[in-house]
Amino acid sequence: MLVKSQVKYIQSLGHKKHRDEDGVFIAEGPKLINELLNATQLQPVNLFATREWLEANRSGIFEKEVVEVSILELQRISFLTTANQVMGIFHKPIFPEIEIKGKITLVLDNIQDPGNLGTIVRIADWFGVQHIVCSQDCADVFNPKVVQATMGSICRVQVLYTGLQDFLSAHGDIPVYATSLDGTHITDMSPMEEAILVFGNESKGIGAELMHMIRNKITIPGRGEAESLNAAVAAGIILSHLVR
Amino acid sequence: MLVKSQVKYIQSLGHKKHRDEDGVFIAEGPKLINELLNATQLQPVNLFATREWLEANRSGIFEKEVVEVSILELQRISFLTTANQVMGIFHKPIFPEIEIKGKITLVLDNIQDPGNLGTIVRIADWFGVQHIVCSQDCADVFNPKVVQATMGSICRVQVLYTGLQDFLSAHGDIPVYATSLDGTHITDMSPMEEAILVFGNESKGIGAELMHMIRNKITIPGRGEAESLNAAVAAGIILSHLVR
């Protein structure tokens, strides 16, 4: 059974401030929870699960942290429209220090939409990209909506928040690419082992000062009339051409 | 000023049944509305706009159909979290009969998420794909959330709802492709002029009976660990390799 203080605490974790204070985040649903429980980098703090889930997952190793809840109780604490069997509070993953030499790294400037950010983390994971560097004004990767959209990739891709101009300056030896309407066609480019790929805000694109630091422009050629592509779709397309 | 019957009518258009009865749909926000007003295939039934929008768009030609509303009134009828200057009711576009010979066509089996469907319409438009054929259980392309996610591409891409097995049977001379984990790598394929590309449900993939009709499998090679890619991202990647 849930006690009031637990409900309040879980609701507080909808806010970045409280997640940061305790170094934890929330995930939901049997598929995602099972993937996170299997990830060696992650430790669950608490699980709140229905009897249905508990009976299907009787390993016993979670006994200490599990609270059995009714589906109504779960709905009360869920961040989903429809609660789904189990919610977990996890310690944020701890990654080794970021090393981007010889790798492909994504840099995100002010990506606001949680679904977009989560989808980009999932795409990075698909293509084996280990690091995503976000501007401080991007959505928080531990926002419950982002966590859900990563479909578990959040335990494998390291997401770092920092000033992007300083980050690019500190890695001046790695070629930096951004999408633009007048760049080299992605279909004419060869796969590469090392690059920084920059993607910008959903409506404003990449900030002017940052754009000024980027010499290599890539275009995704289209023969239709849409004005732009969604940032996550563009990231997926570019990685599919550059990663082999 | 808004009258009560207008509020009720607009709210009713959140339901497919009512949109179908009147052959209309709703769009919102200055960018999308201006794009739809410029589309020759579309006729506005009504616009509900704030003074701010009206002053910036004084062409006069819309006088008959425009209702000036306060931002509070607009918020009352809006399907967005935050109402944005203008809402329009439009007649659905009328397209000529579908002709897919010699073209690339997307086929969607049970795509449920409105954001995914809208993003796929936008991607199709980017790559010049003119037709999308949906199973009857896909989300409705005139659902307000889908319309917003298309970013205006809804006036250029024709979306048809029909039985997919019958559709494929009727076009047996056109090669049909689907994504799978054991297909030909997309990076090894050449651009093509004519194809039917099938994408399946977000969690269940392509239905077994339909899958049975598809002989050509495509794989998007990844070297990471994510289990799958979002359907819209997969569509974008495949089109970026096949359309030239």
User: In this predicted structure, what is the pLDDT of residue A62?
Assistant: 61
DSSP B205: B
Inter-chain touch B152–A227, beta carbons under 8 Å? yes
Domains annotated for chain B, with CATH where assigned, are 4-91 (3.30.1330.30), 104-242 (3.40.1280.10)
Which residues make beta-bridge pairs with B158?
Answer: B131
The angle subtended at Cα A34 by Cα A31 and Cα A40, nearest 5°, is 135
Distance CA B132, CA A81 (A): 29
Portion of chain B with pLDDT greater than 90, in percent: 84
The structure tokens listed for A79 are 């961040």
pLDDT band for position A38 (cuts 50, 70, 90): confident
B97 and B120 Cβ atoms separated by less than 8 Å: no
The structure tokens listed for A56 are 């299907």
Q: pTM to 2 decimals?
A: 0.94
By Cβ distance, the residue of B129, B151, B233 closest to A236 is B233
Model confidence over A125-170: pLDDT tens digits? 999 999 999 999 999 999 999 999 999 999 999 999 999 999 999 9
Distance CA A134, CA A149 (A): 17
Question: Is any Cβ of chain B less than 8 angstroms from the Cβ of A243?
Answer: yes
Inter-chain touch B224–A126, beta carbons under 8 Å? yes
A234 and A123 Cβ atoms separated by less than 8 Å: no
Residues of B in contact with A146 (CB under 8 A): none
Question: ipTM > 0.90?
Answer: yes
Question: Is any Cβ of chain B less than 8 angstroms from the Cβ of A226?
Answer: yes
Q: Which residue has the higher pLDDT, B98 or A189?
A: A189
Residues of B in contact with A236 (CB under 8 A): 229, 233-234, 236-237
pLDDT band for position A244 (cuts 50, 70, 90): confident
DSSP string, A48-67: EE-HHHHHHT--STTGGGEE
Q: Among B188, B225, B242, which would you mutate to test the A interface (most chain A Cβ atoms within 10 Å of its Cβ)?
A: B225
Please name the amino acid found at residue B107: V
User: In this predicted structure, what is the pLDDT of residue B153?
Assistant: 96
- What mean pLDDT comes out for the span A51-80? 86
Q: Alpha-carbon dihedral of residues A192, A197, A202, A208, nearest 10 degrees?
A: -140
Chains A, B: CB pairs < 8 Å? 112
Tracing tokens 């990739």 back to the chain, one arrives at A153
Least confident stretch, A90-99, A175-184, B151-160, B211-220 = A90-99
Closest chain B residue by Cα to residue A130: B224
Q: What count of Cα atoms within 13 Å lies in the side-chain half-sphere of residue A108?
A: 31
Portion of chain A with pLDDT greater than 70, in percent: 98
For the sheet with B176-185, list strands across it: B158-161, B131-134, B104-108, B195-199, B176-185, B216-219
A133 phi and psi, to 5 degrees?
-110, 120
User: In this predicted structure, what is the pLDDT of residue A58?
Assistant: 74
Inter-chain touch A225–B125, beta carbons under 8 Å? yes
Residues of A in contact with B224 (CB under 8 A): 124-129, 156
pLDDT at A60 over 90: no
A180 and A219 Cβ atoms separated by less than 8 Å: yes
pLDDT at B60 over 60: no
Q: Which residue has the higher pLDDT, B95 or A220?
A: A220
Residues of A in contact with B221 (CB under 8 A): 244
A49 phi and psi, to 5 degrees?
-135, 150
The structure tokens listed for B50 are 């704030």
Inter-chain touch A228–B151, beta carbons under 8 Å? yes
- What mean pLDDT comes out for the span B224-230? 92
| N-to-C CA span, chain A | 50
pLDDT band for position A220 (cuts 50, 70, 90): very high
The structure tokens listed for A98 are 């970021």
Distance CA A6, CA A11 (A): 8
A170 phi and psi, to 5 degrees?
-70, -15
Query: Between helices A231-242 and A114-126, what is the axis angle to 10°?
Result: 10
Residues of B in contact with A119 (CB under 8 A): 230, 233
By Cβ distance, the residue of A156, A186, A224 closest to B128 is A224
Question: Is any Cβ of chain A less than 8 angstroms from the Cβ of B240?
Answer: yes
Q: What count of Cα atoms within 13 Å lies in the side-chain half-sphere of residue B117?
A: 30
> Taking a contact as any Cβ pair under 8 Å apart, which residues of chain B between 97 and 136 contact chain A?
115, 119, 122-129
Least confident stretch, A93-97, A218-222, B22-26, B86-90 = A93-97
